[in-house]
Amino acid sequence: MPKETSEIVGEFASLREAIDRLEQGLGLMLETQGTHSEMLREILHAATAPAEMEQPLTDMIAQLIATMNGQHAELAAIGEVMRRLPADVGSAVAGAVRDGLKGI
């Protein structure tokens, strides 16, 4: 049976609509692939580039070590003062008592 012109036109319209949807879907897929390609390019660049923080981090660690060494020396000096403190206090008290007893 021959199809009516209106049926043929309807089928062509449906085909055109399906082709338009496919074209739109392919366009979106290509856009997504482009975005993914750019993201992958940036990831690869970041993975292969030398780390920007390597040198500053080493410098910061060196500064931290120097500071800790300085604090260690200061604590050692304080420890030495604390070690001598009883003898120094004893000498000071003994001297004060002697001075106080001179007038008697």
13-28 per-position pLDDT tens digit: 889 889 989 999 999 9
Q: Which one-letter DSSP state was computed for residue 49? A: S
60 and 20, same structural domain?
no
Q: Tell me how far apart the alpha carbons of residues 100 and 104 are, in angstroms, rounded to a whole number.
A: 8
Amino acid in the structure at residue 38? E
What's the confidence (pLDDT) of residue 67? 93
pLDDT along the chain (104 residues), means of 10: 76 89 91 89 83 73 91 91 89 86 79
Q: Enter the pTM of the model.
A: 0.41
- The domain tally of the chain equals 2
**1 lies in which domain range?**
1-49
43 and 4, same structural domain?
yes
Alpha-helix residue ranges (DSSP H) falling in 1-104: 5-48, 54-102
38 and 26, same structural domain?
yes
59 and 104, same structural domain?
yes
- Both tokens of 87, joined, read 């003898």
- Both tokens of 2, joined, read 């021959």
What's the confidence (pLDDT) of residue 95? 85
**Chosen domain end from 9, 26, 49:** 49
